[in-house]
Structure 1
Amino acid sequence: MSKTSTVFKQAYNRCLSLLAARDCLPSEPELGLALGVSRTTVRAILTHLAEAGVIAWDKRSKVRLRAPVDADFYPAEETDSPAEIIERSFMRLLLAQGVEPGTQITEVELAREIGVGTSSLREFLIRFSRFGLIEKRPNSRWMFKGFTREFALELTEIREMFELRSAFAFIELAEANPAWTALDAMEAEHHGFADAIARHYVDFSELDERFHRLIHNASRNRFIVDFYDVIAMIFHYHYQWNKAGGRERNAVAVTEHLAYIDALKSRDRVRLQAACRAHLDSARTTLLRSLPGVVA
């Protein structure tokens, strides 16, 4: 699948999520900023939505005709990049096989099991190794060092410092900054998700990742933005260690996100710090409880 096709399908799905909570869509420039795509892609999305009978599009008017349904969305396997496919497959493999600390992983065998080329897998493993979960060994082998309570605590400590710094940077952005339009779109997605949480609660991690990445990007700090990759990866998959109560946890997280968004829009540092810390405290507790044999 081409990169262009993947970008289109990802943006199309996000636009459908927007429509779940809105009666109409904004102007093409605003929609492009919210979705992070060009105006050409926006028009392709609008054309597809109109052909599917989701909206009535007449120049500036883009009115919703019906609420999106599951069948309207492109499946994950069509919207993920090769890097995301490797990431997802690698983490699921570790979880499904219950890989213990000290386990040796061979590039060739792992690439074959995931169904990707060894060079692409090696690039992922090298990037992932920076964070101490795996370690390079001779002869194209890697050792899994384990996801421990100590690692989780170190990760959450860094996340909390980086995110609060980023959140404060966010509220200093000018009114015309595209991040505010993106935040409005994110808020609409959260309301749509809350209304349909019974059917889609397992998909929350993707929305969660995009929300927090939007905040981290406001830092304009390459190290904070880069480190969010490992934060997203771990928090994206933590629920798979312990699925119990997933719907309830995600419902709480959506509520916390909306309070967080409201605090960002207020530009009040005290409110923002309280909302940010409340949500990150919940995330830390959930992560620690997800670890086998660990009590938070």
Structure 2
Amino acid sequence: MESNKTYLFKQSINLMLDHIQELPEDQNIMANDMELTRQLKISRTTVRACVEHLIENGLVKRQGSHKVVLRQPQDSDFFDIEDKASTKDKQIEKYFMSLIHHGKLLPGDRFSELSLAKNSGCTTISVREFLIKFSNNGLIEKIPRGRWKMVKFDEDFARELISFREMVEMRAITELLKQPKDHPVWQELRELLVKHQEVSLDMKNRYLEFPDLDRELHFIILKSAKNRFTKQFFDIVSFVCHYHYQWDKTGELERFTIAIHEHIDLLNNLVTHNNAGAILSLEKHLQTAEITLLRCVHGLES
């Protein structure tokens, strides 16, 4: 049954289906297991389980050491994984993020799957699957004997992330601005503007609400691109940027105050359909985000 499948399994199946669709027209052989392990950043065990699923559903067949594609994937072959991670997935994610938020996991720190499982109330299998999925964000890396390490980011990593973010979000906002004025997204943005204004009036006491507002705004922008890779990219930015900021508390109130006013400026331009103003506002906000992330990186390196 679909409900018995883990989030990692469903995500891996979807990625394998993408791989099949992207094969050249004159090629019907999937990548070998080792290459799929490398490309999808999952274990050989998960790769084999996913391949068996594809075989059972008539998408591929084994022919010696090869996996021969029998048909192209249909929409019904893909799993709907949008915001549908299991309870255990959410439980370990919430616990792991709380460790970062409260400064109990810092760049360079090491931790074990067993300790996370014990302290979060999850199984080691759930923990391992979460960490493998989370490692795609570049925030942690695997070390021997069931242990992991928090990654120390350098300036090159930060600049590359921001550069890619600019390309994706600037493309997304141009798609958002094409939406008709009666589209539901404009009401979402008006409501979000009110939330921003309320928090901005009491930043001293409510500034810690900003990361959630930031996540909500950028998600609305990015989902307008209607690209299947957008959600994965959004997760990377959220985890790397927001939680990296949390490792460096210096000037947190000040930088959140600057950012929320930039958001309000952007939202005002969006809801009044000032297209040129919205694009300029987003460019300015992303430039500020780059400066902020670089300051955090340098602060942590000192």
Q: Among residues 249, 262, 270, which one is paired with 2:276 in the alignment? A: 270
CA distance in 1, matches of 2:231, 2:279: 20
Q: What SS does the aligned partner of 1:142 have?
A: strand
Q: Among residues 75, 96, 106, which one is paired with 2:104 in the alignment? A: 96
CA distance in 1, matches of 2:259, 2:155: 22
Determine whether 1:255 maps to 2:261.
Answer: yes
The answer to whether the 8 Å contact 1:169/1:219 transfers is yes
CA distance in 2, matches of 1:249, 1:149: 19
After TM superposition, the structure 1 stretch with the greater mean CA deviation from structure 2, 231-240 or 84-93, is: 84-93
Q: Among residues 178, 195, 199, which one is paired with 2:184 in the alignment? A: 178
Structure 1 alignment gaps of length 5 or more: 1-79
CA distance in 1, matches of 2:201, 2:178: 31
Offset at residue 168 of structure 1 (A): 1.0
Aligned residue number for residue 146 of structure 1: 152
Q: Among residues 213, 222, 225, which one is paired with 1:216 in the alignment? A: 222
The answer to whether the 8 Å contact 1:86/1:124 transfers is no
CA distance in 2, matches of 1:89, 1:233: 12
Aligned residue number for residue 293 of structure 2: 287
Determine whether 1:233 maps to 2:242.
Answer: no
Alignment of 1:1-296 (within 5 A): 81-82=90-91, 84-92=93-101, 95-100=103-108, 104-137=110-143, 139-293=145-299
Aligned residues: 213
Counterpart residue type for residue 98 of structure 2: S
Offset at residue 138 of structure 1 (A): 5.2
CA 1:153–1:186 in 2, change beyond 3 Å: closer, same or farther?
same
Counterpart residue type for residue 199 of structure 2: F
Listed one character per residue, the Cα deviations across residues 160-212 of structure 1 (whole Å, up to 9, x for unaligned) are: 11111111111111223221111111011011111121211122111111111
What TM-score, normalized by structure 1, do the two folds share? 0.64
Structure 2 alignment gaps of length 5 or more: 1-88
After TM superposition, the structure 1 stretch with the greater mean CA deviation from structure 2, 207-216 or 104-113, is: 104-113
CA 1:252–1:228 in 2, change beyond 3 Å: closer, same or farther?
same
Aligned residue number for residue 55 of structure 1: none
Aligned residue number for residue 22 of structure 2: none
CA 1:285–1:168 in 2, change beyond 3 Å: closer, same or farther?
same
CA 1:293–1:193 in 2, change beyond 3 Å: closer, same or farther?
closer
Counterpart residue type for residue 229 of structure 1: D
Offset at residue 107 of structure 1 (A): 1.0
CA distance in 2, matches of 1:144, 1:250: 24
Q: What SS does the aligned partner of 2:218 have?
A: helix
Counterpart residue type for residue 243 of structure 2: Y
CA distance in 2, matches of 1:231, 1:144: 16
Q: What SS does the aligned partner of 2:182 have?
A: coil
CA distance in 1, matches of 2:174, 2:133: 28
Counterpart residue type for residue 203 of structure 2: I
CA distance in 1, matches of 2:248, 2:144: 34
The answer to whether the 8 Å contact 2:141/2:149 transfers is yes
Q: RMSD of the TM alignment (CA)?
A: 2.5
Q: What SS does the aligned partner of 1:147 have?
A: coil
CA distance in 2, matches of 1:150, 1:291: 10
CA distance in 2, matches of 1:84, 1:137: 20
The answer to whether the 8 Å contact 1:241/1:292 transfers is no
The answer to whether the 8 Å contact 1:167/1:264 transfers is no
Counterpart residue type for residue 82 of structure 1: Q
The answer to whether the 8 Å contact 1:90/1:114 transfers is no
Report which of the two structures shows the higher radius of gyration computed on alpha carbons.
2
Listed one character per residue, the Cα deviations across residues 110-169 of structure 1 (whole Å, up to 9, x for unaligned) are: 322444332332222111222333334554333444322222111111111111111111
